[in-house]
Structure 1
Amino acid sequence: MQNFPIVSTLKHTLAHQAAHFFIRSQEVEGNLKDSNIPFRMFVFGQNDFTKNLLKRTYGTGFTVRREWRAFIPNLKKQIKTYCKSADLCVAVLPRESEIDYSGLYDCKCPELVQQIIHTSGGWEDVRNGFVQKKQQITNNFAERYGLEYRISHEQSDLDFFYKRMFVPHVERRYGKLAIIDSFADMQRFFEQGMLLFVTKNGVDVAGALSLIQDGKLIFRRTGVLDGDETHVEAGAQTALYYFQLRYANGNGLHAVDTMMSNPYLNDGVFRHKKEWGAEVSPSNDYMTWAYFFHGTMNEKLATFYDKNPLTIQTEAGMKGLVGIPLEASVSEKMIQDIKRRYHCRGLNGFVLFTPAGMQNVA
């Protein structure tokens, strides 16, 4: 029994060392989601990003042809070989690996993006960054819906927020897939921050646990009373965003950090934050890039990027990569439509992927 800690430590050390030399890999086939278009992909690295990528690409209808641990020093050679027969190869690797893959990968994106809403200036300056619909909703918002907010540092309020708001909200939203922070984790956040409650007729109906660091309000966790969104006619998330922004603006904070989102331009969470005027930037949480290596420039890849438009990192900063299937030439009308649908603060233009090639537009 006395040797078990030594064995455990040795296994952990060996696993850590092996991670520098081997990467979990998959060969996957199936039809692109909501289509009858077959799509073959090699994925190097198994984590939340690649799992989400597979789900977005195929839904549940894909087959894993094989799984193995690829030897990282030989990975570049393997990718060159696999790209000859696959539609796409994707590898999640440390950012310092870029020098080894420069000239081989076609684009790269972060695993997650950061979205920050600037709150300097007057309240109308902040509102001017919202999309038109949000500007309309937030006009006389509190008065129209009979809502107010309050700030709390009371331990009893944390207990109430956790048990009556946070846990029910997560369970109702995610069901059996819910991952619930422990109360101890929530306590640590609380000791560094505060609770903001949205109230109606004197009753707390929604809440947010936030931190204040470096002049920013950091949105950590949210909840709704008994997990019931109908408590707030305008929507609990809308009310929480509105009052957090009002608090930050009124207390001299320069931004609200809405935390991380998936790097897809049509992701629901990404879009919701964009509507509030959030500026996108790469997250440095993992210090990795997801490198995309194209097989052949064809309609299948254009359809893939049409369904999965990405925020990519380029020498000119972040851009949106959007697919246009079936169209060899891109009209001005199509460009304007893409800008209308996907433009957000922080993007320095778009890269359009068509079967004929990739085209940069400002």
Structure 2
Amino acid sequence: MEVAAVSPAELEAARDAALAAIAAAADLEQLKAVRTEHAGDRSALALANREIGALPPQARKEAGQRVGQARGAVSKALTARQEVLEAEHEARILVEEAVDVTLPTDAEPVGARHPLTTGAELIADIFVAMGWEVAEGPVIEAEWLNFDALNLGPDHPARTMQDTFWTEPADHHVVLRTHTSPVQARTMLTRTPPIYVVCPGRVFRTDEYDATHSPMFHQVEGLAIDEGISMAHLKGTLDHFASQMFGEGITTRFRPSYFPFTEPSAEVDLVCFVCRGVDSDQCRTCRGEGWIEWGGCGIVNPRVLQACGVDSERYSGFAFGMGIDRTLMFRHGLEDLRTLFEGDVRFTTAFGSEL
């Protein structure tokens, strides 16, 4: 079916409307909208161009020339206006985002140590001030030191694949240490009591990575071996540790528990450092308990002393352990354990250097 060509007057009106809109565009966003309306696939000039093919042969040439001239004028105007608006945009940015390069600045940005590093050093300093020593050991550990020496027999659940990373081949009996207790065993095997050591470091367990768990985390454990050591010495040590970490008046309590390497054993709770046990029903931190679980402790099992070459008839001792990560979450009000491990410099810088 043949159609009538768009009249010259209609083409001129469409062209003039497009040119006026282009001239009125104040910025690149407005020009983009004008381009779509007056030069896009559904614009009046584009529709007129599509109708050329349906015209009689004798009318196509003239109509094609008129439409082509109109579209060419619009395209040329769009290009010219875009160049002007881009130049204005760049000039405006140079003014608005100008930087005074003559202002003094540090040659290098000030960095910050990671809170896990400063936190572990703070804990070590607390015990060094009490006359203790800091002991370290390898993170890849012999099975005997990680388990057997600590009264964790071959059938103990912690030795299964659900908790422990075992290296290959299995007959080498080597693991990624699941606690820093092997450092205590190594210390007892190489030293003669009295022994007072604190052992911070990385440990590994096959936990899921979420807001409260990680397959790699940090522990601090303490060991005291001497004549006449009792639970009273343990309680006093942990009360001092708690007050140094969380403020004066923060004490601990013991709840009976079980650990293979201590007997008797206890769970250690802190007085809530937010409500301090007063009006705890309204406290979101301790959830009405007035106490917060912190770690485990106890009197060293005589079997552990004997396995590590210490005379259990003459000497006794206590041991304790808690998570450094969990302690820092308490101390700084962190809600997600993952913030400690994800390497965001903005998180680390916020802590600065803790003295």
TM-score (ref. length: structure 1):
0.22
Higher RCO structure, 1 or 2 (CA under 8 Å, sep 6+): 1
TM-score (ref. length: structure 2):
0.22
Q: Which structure shows the bigger proportion of residues in helix conformation?
A: 2
Between Structure 1 and Structure 2, whose CA radius of gyration is higher?
A: 2
Q: Which structure shows the bigger proportion of residues in strand conformation?
A: 1
